[in-house]
Structure 1
Amino acid sequence: MDFLTDTTHLHITTWVIALIVFLVAAVMGRESKGRKILHMVVRLFYILIIITGLALFIEWSSSDAMQYGLKFLFGILTIGMMEMVLVRSKKQKPVTLFWILFAVFFFVTLFFGFKLPIGINFLA
Protein backbone atom coordinates (compact mmCIF):
# COMPACT_ATOMS: atom_id res chain seq x y z
CA MET A 1 0.00 0.00 0.00
CA ASP A 2 2.98 2.32 -0.48
CA PHE A 3 1.24 4.01 -3.41
CA LEU A 4 -1.13 5.60 -0.85
CA THR A 5 1.59 6.99 1.40
CA ASP A 6 4.74 7.65 -0.64
CA THR A 7 3.47 10.98 -1.97
CA THR A 8 0.35 13.07 -1.73
CA HIS A 9 -0.40 12.85 -5.47
CA LEU A 10 -3.29 10.37 -5.18
CA HIS A 11 -4.86 12.28 -2.29
CA ILE A 12 -4.59 15.63 -4.07
CA THR A 13 -5.97 14.15 -7.29
CA THR A 14 -9.03 12.78 -5.47
CA TRP A 15 -9.90 16.04 -3.74
CA VAL A 16 -9.33 18.14 -6.86
CA ILE A 17 -11.69 15.91 -8.88
CA ALA A 18 -14.20 15.92 -6.01
CA LEU A 19 -14.07 19.71 -5.83
CA ILE A 20 -14.70 20.07 -9.56
CA VAL A 21 -17.58 17.56 -9.54
CA PHE A 22 -19.03 19.24 -6.42
CA LEU A 23 -18.97 22.69 -8.01
CA VAL A 24 -20.58 21.39 -11.21
CA ALA A 25 -23.29 19.62 -9.21
CA ALA A 26 -23.87 22.71 -7.07
CA VAL A 27 -24.61 24.95 -10.06
CA MET A 28 -26.85 22.45 -11.87
CA GLY A 29 -30.62 22.64 -11.69
CA ARG A 30 -32.25 21.31 -8.53
CA GLU A 31 -34.28 18.56 -10.18
CA SER A 32 -31.75 17.58 -12.81
CA LYS A 33 -31.06 13.85 -13.22
CA GLY A 34 -27.45 14.74 -13.98
CA ARG A 35 -27.16 16.46 -10.60
CA LYS A 36 -28.28 13.30 -8.85
CA ILE A 37 -25.62 11.29 -10.70
CA LEU A 38 -22.93 13.86 -9.94
CA HIS A 39 -23.98 13.86 -6.28
CA MET A 40 -23.39 10.10 -6.17
CA VAL A 41 -20.02 10.53 -7.92
CA VAL A 42 -18.91 13.19 -5.44
CA ARG A 43 -19.95 10.90 -2.58
CA LEU A 44 -17.69 8.20 -4.04
CA PHE A 45 -14.86 10.72 -4.08
CA TYR A 46 -15.58 11.63 -0.43
CA ILE A 47 -14.82 8.01 0.42
CA LEU A 48 -11.65 8.01 -1.70
CA ILE A 49 -10.50 11.26 -0.07
CA ILE A 50 -11.04 9.80 3.40
CA ILE A 51 -9.23 6.55 2.53
CA THR A 52 -6.20 8.28 1.02
CA GLY A 53 -6.16 10.90 3.78
CA LEU A 54 -6.40 8.25 6.50
CA ALA A 55 -3.52 6.31 4.93
CA LEU A 56 -1.38 9.47 4.89
CA PHE A 57 -2.44 10.29 8.45
CA ILE A 58 -1.47 6.84 9.74
CA GLU A 59 1.87 6.92 7.93
CA TRP A 60 2.98 10.47 8.72
CA SER A 61 1.22 11.59 11.93
CA SER A 62 4.01 10.36 14.21
CA SER A 63 6.10 13.43 13.22
CA ASP A 64 3.48 16.03 14.22
CA ALA A 65 0.30 14.36 15.43
CA MET A 66 -1.59 17.51 16.42
CA GLN A 67 -1.22 19.28 13.08
CA TYR A 68 -2.05 16.13 11.11
CA GLY A 69 -5.04 15.59 13.38
CA LEU A 70 -6.28 19.14 12.82
CA LYS A 71 -5.84 18.76 9.07
CA PHE A 72 -7.82 15.51 9.17
CA LEU A 73 -10.58 17.16 11.24
CA PHE A 74 -10.85 20.17 8.92
CA GLY A 75 -10.86 17.83 5.91
CA ILE A 76 -13.83 15.94 7.34
CA LEU A 77 -15.58 19.25 8.10
CA THR A 78 -14.96 20.40 4.52
CA ILE A 79 -16.54 17.21 3.17
CA GLY A 80 -19.47 17.71 5.55
CA MET A 81 -20.07 21.24 4.30
CA MET A 82 -19.90 20.08 0.67
CA GLU A 83 -22.61 17.52 1.41
CA MET A 84 -24.72 20.05 3.31
CA VAL A 85 -24.61 22.49 0.38
CA LEU A 86 -25.78 19.82 -2.07
CA VAL A 87 -28.50 18.35 0.14
CA ARG A 88 -29.91 21.63 1.43
CA SER A 89 -29.92 23.25 -2.01
CA LYS A 90 -31.84 20.27 -3.38
CA LYS A 91 -34.44 20.84 -0.64
CA GLN A 92 -34.47 24.57 -1.48
CA LYS A 93 -33.24 25.57 1.97
CA PRO A 94 -30.77 28.40 2.61
CA VAL A 95 -27.16 27.39 1.96
CA THR A 96 -25.25 30.67 2.34
CA LEU A 97 -23.88 29.76 5.77
CA PHE A 98 -22.74 26.36 4.50
CA TRP A 99 -20.98 27.92 1.49
CA ILE A 100 -19.13 30.26 3.86
CA LEU A 101 -18.20 27.41 6.23
CA PHE A 102 -17.13 25.29 3.25
CA ALA A 103 -14.80 28.07 2.03
CA VAL A 104 -13.31 28.63 5.51
CA PHE A 105 -12.79 24.93 6.22
CA PHE A 106 -11.40 24.33 2.73
CA PHE A 107 -8.78 27.07 3.03
CA VAL A 108 -7.82 26.01 6.56
CA THR A 109 -7.43 22.44 5.31
CA LEU A 110 -5.29 23.63 2.40
CA PHE A 111 -3.17 25.71 4.77
CA PHE A 112 -2.49 22.74 7.05
CA GLY A 113 -1.97 20.40 4.11
CA PHE A 114 0.67 22.57 2.48
CA LYS A 115 2.30 23.49 5.80
CA LEU A 116 2.87 19.90 6.96
CA PRO A 117 6.17 18.13 6.22
CA ILE A 118 4.71 15.96 3.45
CA GLY A 119 2.97 19.00 1.92
CA ILE A 120 4.15 21.18 -0.94
CA ASN A 121 6.50 24.04 -0.08
CA PHE A 122 5.75 26.87 -2.51
CA LEU A 123 8.47 29.14 -1.16
CA ALA A 124 11.44 26.82 -1.69
Structure 2
Amino acid sequence: MYTTHAHITTWVVAVILFVIALVLIKSGNAKGTKIVHMILRLFYILTIVTGAFLFFKFQSANPALYGIKLLGGLLVIGMMEMILSRMKKGKGTGLFWILLIIFFVGVLYLGFVKLPL
Protein backbone atom coordinates (compact mmCIF):
# COMPACT_ATOMS: atom_id res chain seq x y z
CA MET A 1 0.00 0.00 0.00
CA TYR A 2 1.43 3.34 -1.03
CA THR A 3 -0.49 5.44 1.54
CA THR A 4 -0.91 8.18 -1.08
CA HIS A 5 -4.65 8.37 -0.46
CA ALA A 6 -4.13 8.38 3.30
CA HIS A 7 -1.58 11.18 2.98
CA ILE A 8 -3.79 13.33 0.76
CA THR A 9 -6.76 12.73 3.06
CA THR A 10 -4.82 13.74 6.17
CA TRP A 11 -3.51 17.00 4.73
CA VAL A 12 -6.89 17.92 3.24
CA VAL A 13 -8.54 17.35 6.64
CA ALA A 14 -5.72 19.38 8.25
CA VAL A 15 -6.37 22.31 5.89
CA ILE A 16 -10.12 22.16 6.65
CA LEU A 17 -9.43 22.07 10.40
CA PHE A 18 -7.02 25.00 9.98
CA VAL A 19 -9.78 27.06 8.34
CA ILE A 20 -12.25 26.07 11.08
CA ALA A 21 -9.72 27.07 13.75
CA LEU A 22 -9.24 30.45 12.04
CA VAL A 23 -13.00 31.05 12.03
CA LEU A 24 -13.27 30.06 15.70
CA ILE A 25 -10.41 32.39 16.67
CA LYS A 26 -12.05 35.26 14.79
CA SER A 27 -15.39 34.56 16.52
CA GLY A 28 -13.75 34.53 19.95
CA ASN A 29 -14.70 30.94 20.78
CA ALA A 30 -11.69 30.01 22.93
CA LYS A 31 -12.90 26.56 23.99
CA GLY A 32 -13.86 25.51 20.45
CA THR A 33 -10.58 26.88 19.14
CA LYS A 34 -8.58 24.86 21.65
CA ILE A 35 -10.40 21.62 20.78
CA VAL A 36 -10.07 22.09 17.02
CA HIS A 37 -6.42 23.14 17.39
CA MET A 38 -5.61 19.95 19.32
CA ILE A 39 -7.35 17.80 16.69
CA LEU A 40 -5.44 19.72 14.01
CA ARG A 41 -2.17 18.89 15.76
CA LEU A 42 -3.11 15.21 15.61
CA PHE A 43 -3.61 15.59 11.86
CA TYR A 44 -0.22 17.32 11.58
CA ILE A 45 1.30 14.16 13.05
CA LEU A 46 -0.73 11.87 10.77
CA THR A 47 0.28 13.96 7.75
CA ILE A 48 3.95 13.79 8.73
CA VAL A 49 3.80 10.02 9.33
CA THR A 50 2.05 9.23 6.03
CA GLY A 51 4.37 11.64 4.21
CA ALA A 52 7.41 9.97 5.78
CA PHE A 53 6.19 6.56 4.56
CA LEU A 54 5.89 7.95 1.05
CA PHE A 55 9.26 9.68 1.28
CA PHE A 56 11.16 6.60 2.38
CA LYS A 57 9.40 4.37 -0.14
CA PHE A 58 9.82 6.62 -3.21
CA GLN A 59 12.65 9.06 -2.55
CA SER A 60 15.07 6.93 -4.56
CA ALA A 61 13.24 8.04 -7.73
CA ASN A 62 14.33 11.67 -7.20
CA PRO A 63 15.91 12.23 -3.78
CA ALA A 64 16.47 15.97 -4.14
CA LEU A 65 12.90 16.85 -5.12
CA TYR A 66 11.38 14.49 -2.58
CA GLY A 67 13.62 16.03 0.08
CA ILE A 68 12.56 19.54 -0.91
CA LYS A 69 8.92 18.46 -0.84
CA LEU A 70 9.40 16.94 2.63
CA LEU A 71 10.99 20.14 3.90
CA GLY A 72 8.29 22.23 2.23
CA GLY A 73 5.55 20.15 3.85
CA LEU A 74 7.11 20.62 7.27
CA LEU A 75 7.34 24.37 6.63
CA VAL A 76 3.65 24.46 5.64
CA ILE A 77 2.74 22.81 8.94
CA GLY A 78 5.04 25.21 10.79
CA MET A 79 3.45 28.26 9.16
CA MET A 80 -0.06 26.99 9.92
CA GLU A 81 0.89 26.55 13.56
CA MET A 82 2.57 29.96 13.74
CA ILE A 83 -0.47 31.68 12.24
CA LEU A 84 -2.86 30.09 14.73
CA SER A 85 -0.59 30.72 17.71
CA ARG A 86 0.05 34.35 16.79
CA MET A 87 -3.63 35.00 16.06
CA LYS A 88 -4.55 33.68 19.51
CA LYS A 89 -2.07 36.14 21.03
CA GLY A 90 -3.29 39.01 18.86
CA LYS A 91 0.03 39.40 17.04
CA GLY A 92 0.60 40.09 13.33
CA THR A 93 0.55 37.19 10.90
CA GLY A 94 1.16 38.84 7.50
CA LEU A 95 4.61 37.40 6.85
CA PHE A 96 3.50 33.93 7.93
CA TRP A 97 0.53 34.03 5.52
CA ILE A 98 2.84 34.93 2.65
CA LEU A 99 5.24 32.12 3.55
CA LEU A 100 2.37 29.65 3.99
CA ILE A 101 1.02 30.42 0.52
CA ILE A 102 4.47 30.19 -1.10
CA PHE A 103 5.32 26.89 0.61
CA PHE A 104 1.86 25.39 0.04
CA VAL A 105 1.86 26.22 -3.69
CA GLY A 106 5.41 24.85 -3.98
CA VAL A 107 4.53 21.59 -2.24
CA LEU A 108 1.38 21.16 -4.32
CA TYR A 109 3.35 21.81 -7.51
CA LEU A 110 5.98 19.24 -6.57
CA GLY A 111 3.41 16.69 -5.43
CA PHE A 112 0.94 16.90 -8.29
CA VAL A 113 3.04 18.07 -11.25
CA LYS A 114 6.73 17.37 -10.86
CA LEU A 115 7.06 14.13 -8.93
CA PRO A 116 5.98 10.79 -10.40
CA LEU A 117 3.79 9.55 -7.53
Q: TM (normalized to structure 2)?
A: 0.93
Equivalent residues of 1:77, 1:105 under 8 A apart: yes
Matched residue type, 1:117: P
**Contact 1:30 / 1:89 at 8 angstroms: preserved in 2?**
no
Root mean square deviation, CA, Å? 1.0
d(CA) in 1 for partners of 2:115, 2:75: 19
Residues 15-44 of structure 1 deviation map (CA, whole Å, 9 limit, x = unaligned): 000000001101213452101100001100
Partner of 1:22: 18
Partner of 1:43: 41
Asked if the contact 1:15/1:45 (under 8 Å) is kept, the reply is yes
Counterpart of 1:122? none
Structure 1 stretches of 4+ with a deviation exceeding 4 A read none
Deviations 1:33-82 (A, max 9, x none): 10110000110000000000000000000110000000000000000000
Q: List runs of 5+ in structure 2 lacking aligned partners.
A: none
**Distance (whole Å) between structure 2 residues aligned to residue 31 and residue 90 of structure 1:** 11
Q: Note if 1:85 corresponds to 2:73.
A: no
Identity %: 54
**Structure 1 residue runs without a partner (length 5+):** 119-124
Partner in structure 1 of residue 4 of structure 2: 8
TM-score (norm 1): 0.88
The answer (yes or no) to whether the contact 2:51–2:70 under 8 Å persists in 1 is yes
Separation of aligned partners in 1, 2:37 and 2:56: 29
Aligned-partner Cα distance in 1 for 2:28–2:70: 31
Equivalent residue number for residue 112 of structure 1: 110
Q: CA deviation at 1:99?
A: 1.1
By how many angstroms is 1:97 displaced?
1.1
